[in-house]
Structure 1
Amino acid sequence: MEILGIQEHRIVHQEPIKIEKFKEGVSFVTVSARRNGAGAATGGVGFLLTRRAYSAISLIKPYGSRVLTISFNGNPRLTTITAYSPTKAALVEEAEDFHNTLRQAMNDVPAHHLLITEGDMNARLGKESEEDSRWYFLTRTNRNGELLRDTALECDMEITNIRFRKKVNKRWTFLSDGTLNKGQIDYILIRRKWKNSLKNTEVYNTFQSLGSDHRVVVCKIKVSFRKGHRPPKKVNYDYSALKSDGELQKKYAIEVRNV
C-alpha cells in the first residue's frame, strides 16, 4: 500500500498538522484527537504514507478534527480524504454537520483530480430495493447510511465496498467488542469519473494483532506518482563594484570584447 488512511488514532498534539517519520521511510501525517469530558483522548484522523507518496504531496488541508485532505502530484492528480464519522449514538445534528464538512472537502477538490475518500463512516447500508444487485453485508440502512448515500450522490462518488462480488466474510469491517456482532461500517468512495481506475476493494485482517475492532479496507487503483518540479533557482549578480572601480571596468570591458 502507498497510502493508508487512519481514523480514531487518539493521539493528542498541539500542532494543527503533525508529521512524524518512521523506519523504512514511512511518514505519519495527523490531525490531533480531542479530549472528551472525562479527559480521555478520542477521534483524530491521519495518513501513513510511503516515501514515494510523501515526496509527491502538493497539499495538506484539515477540515476540523474529523476530515483530512491530502493531494498528490501525479497523472492524473490524486486527492484522498480520510474521515471519521460520529457514531450512530451521536446527535443527529452532529452527524449532519460531519457530512456537510465532508461534502465541502470533496467539493473543494478540482474536477480533474482522481478523488478517493476513505473512512470509518459508522454507516450501515442495505439494499435500496429488490432490484439492487450490489453486494452488501447488512440488510438494513441506518441514519448514517442514509447520510452517506446522500453525500455520495451529491458529490458524484461511488461506494466501492458494495461494487465487487465478495464472500460474506470478506465484506464485514467491524466486530463489536461487547456483542461480537459484525458490521460493515468502513468504506472507500471514488469519484465516478475515475471508477475504471479502480481494480478491487477488499477487506483484510491486517490489524488483528493490534487489538483493533476494525479490519482494513484496501482498494487497488492504477495511478502514477511523480515529484513536483521546482523552478530553477534565480541567480542575482552584484555589479556595484564596476561603478566605483575604473580599472576593473576597463578589464571587464576587455574580457567581454574578447569573448
Structure 2
Amino acid sequence: MMKSSKSGAVTSPANQGDTSGSGGERNGQQTCTFGRSCNDASLADERAGTKDKILNLRHNNRFGTWNVRSMTDDSKLHIIEREMGRCNIPICGLAEVRWTGKGHFSLDDGHNVYYSGTDRLKRNGVGFILSRETAKCVLGYNPISDRLITIRLQARPVNISVVQAYAPTSTADDETIDSFFHELQETINIEILVNNDAVGKFGLGKANERGERLADFCNENELIVTNTLFQQHPRRLYTWISPDGRTRNQIDYILIKRRWRSSVKVAKTYPGADCGSDHQLLVAEIRSKLKSVKRDTPPRRYDVNRINDQYRVEVRNSFQILLEQEEEWTPNELWEQTKKAISTAAQNNLPKPKKTRSPWISEEVGTMADERRQVKARGIQTEKDEKQYKDLSRRIQRRTRQDKQDLEQ
C-alpha cells in the first residue's frame, strides 16, 4: 500500500524495524529541513522531474488535524487517506501515530506522509498527510521531536509554515509540560498551528490547568483558537468522546496567527469521519483576505501652453486678497494659501495636457512591412519569392535601427 522513497517496496514505519544511527534516516529516507538546503537530498530526489506548485491562499483551503490513536496497523493509514479524499482535505496533521524514527514516504495514489517519532519506543509521534497536488508545494519539513513537526509550503501571496503539535495530557508531570512549551516556543514563528488541549470562548466544559497554560501561551504569541470562534452545534465542537460515550470534550484545536483572523471561514469537527479513534477529525477552512494598499493620488497636470485670461484674473484676485491679509499669516500658512490659490485657479480654468505619442518608426517601415506581408500572402514558392522576403526583412531591420537612432539624438 505504501512505497518508501528509496526502494519503492511496499513498507511503512508501522512494520519496519527500529531506526539506528544519529542521522535520522530510515531505509535511506533522510530528514529534511526548511529551505530545501543541501541536506534535503531525499526530498529533492523524490520530487525530481515534478513541477513545483504554489498553494493559493486566496482560495478556500482546508487544514485538518486528527488524533488517530496509533497507526501501527497499515489499514488505518489507508482509511485516513480515504477519509481525506471524501472530506476534500488536502493537508492533515496527525497526532499519536506511535511510529519510531523520522522520515517521509509516498503512498500508491500520490499522497505524501511526513512523520516524526521517538528513536525506539512506539509512543506519541506526529506527522502530516498531504495530497498529491499539495505535496508539490512542499519546500521542506522539520521533524523536531515525537511531539512536534513542521512543514513549509510554497504559497501565494506568502509562504506558510504549518506545525503539528501533540501536547502532553493533564496527567503529565510539570517537567514534561515545561519541556514541550519550551520546544513549541522555539518553533512559534509560524502561520498556522494544529494542537491539542486548549480553551476558547465557545469551548465545551471547563478548562483545566494545562488548558489555561496553553491559553496564556496563545495570548503571549498572538495566536487565536479557530474552532472556538464560531458558535455551532455541540456535535461540531467536541473533539473527544469517552469510551462509554457519555462524556464529550473539546480538547483538540487549530491555532492561527491573530493577523490571519479574518481569513478563517469556519473551523469544526467532522463527526462522520472515522478511523477507529475516539477523537474527531477537526478541520479549519481558510481563505486569505489582504488589505488593499491605497496609493497616493498623483498630482494633476495642466497644459501651461494654454494659459487663458480667466486663469490670470483669478490668480491676480487671489493674490490681492493674500496681500491684504499678509500680516495675519505665518510664512508657512501664507505659502499654503498661495499654493491653494494657484491650484484652484488652474483646476477651474486650465485644460489637461493631451497625451500625444508621436510614432518613432517612419512610414517607410510600415510600407515595407505591408509589402512583405503581401509576399507572404501570395506564398513563398520560388527562390525569387524567398529572396524578396528576406531582402524586405533586412531592409525593415536597418530602417528601424536608423529610426531609433534618430529618436535618441
The answer for unaligned runs of 5 or more in structure 1 is: 110-114, 127-133, 224-259
Which amino acid counterpart does residue 171 of structure 1 have in structure 2?
L
Q: Deviations over 1:213-244 (max 9, x none)?
A: 10011001126xxxxxxxxxxxxxxxxxxxxx
The structure with the larger Rg is 2
Q: Provide the C-alpha distance between the structure 2 equivalents of 1:52 and 1:33, rounded to a whole number of angstroms.
A: 29
Identity over aligned pairs, percent: 29
Shift of residue 203 of structure 1? Answer: 0.4
- Cα distance, 1:18 vs. partner? 1.3
2-structure distance, mates of 1:28, 1:206: 23
RCO comparison, higher one (Cα < 8 Å, 6+)? 1
- Residue 107 of structure 2, aligned match among 22, 33, 41: 22
**Equivalences for 1:26-175 in 2 at 5 Å?**
26-33=111-118, 41-75=122-156, 76-107=158-189, 109=190, 115-119=191-195, 121-123=196-198, 125=199, 134-138=201-205, 140-175=206-241
Write the letter of the residue equivalent to 1:137. L
**Runs of 4+ that moved beyond 6 A:** none
Matched AA of 1:57: V
> Which residue number corresponds to residue 243 of structure 2?
177
The 8 Å contact of residues 8 and 33 in structure 1, kept in 2 or not, is answered as: no
The alpha-carbon distance between structure 1 residues 10 and 104, as it changes in their structure 2 partners (threshold 3 A), is same
Given that 1:63 and 1:105 are in contact with CA atoms closer than 8 Å, whether structure 2 keeps it comes out as no
Tell me the C-alpha RMSD between the 2 structures: 1.8
2:50 counterpart residue number: none
1:6 aligns with 2:94: yes
Structure 1 contact 33–44 (Cα < 8 Å) conserved: yes
TM-score by length of 2: 0.46
CA 1:198 to 1:9, structure 2 compared with 1: closer, same or farther past 3 Å?
same
Per-residue CA distance 1:58-106 (angstroms, 9 max, x = gap): 1211222211111111112111000001111010221122112112111
Number of residues of Structure 1 aligned to a counterpart in Structure 2: 199
Please state how far the C-alpha of 1:35 moved relative to its aligned partner.
5.1
Q: TM-score, normalised by structure 1?
A: 0.72
Unaligned runs of 5+ in 2: 1-88, 289-409
Contact conserved, 2:96 with 2:125, CA < 8 A, in 1? yes
List per-residue Cα deviations over 1:13-71 (Å, max 9, x = no partner). Answer: 3xxx31121132111100024655xxxx2110000001222111112112222111111
1:240-255 matches, within 5 Å, as: none
1:220 corresponds in structure 2 to 285
Residue 178 to residue 11, structure 1, CA distance change in 2 (3 Å):
farther
